[in-house]
Amino acid sequence: MKAKLANLAQTELDKYERSLKVYRDLKSVIETAFDEGKIEGKIEAAKQAKIMGLSIPDISKLTGLSEDDISKL
């Protein structure tokens, strides 16, 4: 791949690098959104578990959230 890049004209190399940056930026946005969605899902599960009467330590084990965070829900 590096050999192919070395043979590109400067304008083509610039286009490639811009494209690669856009790709990496979008990938980062998607990964961040996915991670935030996972956290929101854990919070929702913790809320439901609290309503169902599960203990805070059990909810913490179930969701991976801290007991302090669960207490604040």
As averages over each run of 10 residues, the pLDDT of the chain (73 residues) reads 76 90 94 94 96 96 95 95
* Assigned token pair, 45: 């599960």
Domain-located, residue 18: yes
> Domain span at residue 63?
9-71
Domain count, the chain: 1
Which pLDDT value is given to residue 71? 96
Domain-located, residue 2: no
Residue appearing with tokens 């809320």: 47
Which pLDDT value is given to residue 4? 76
Distance (Å, whole) CA 68 – CA 48: 16
Domain-located, residue 4: no
Task: Indicate the pTM of the whole model.
Answer: 0.67
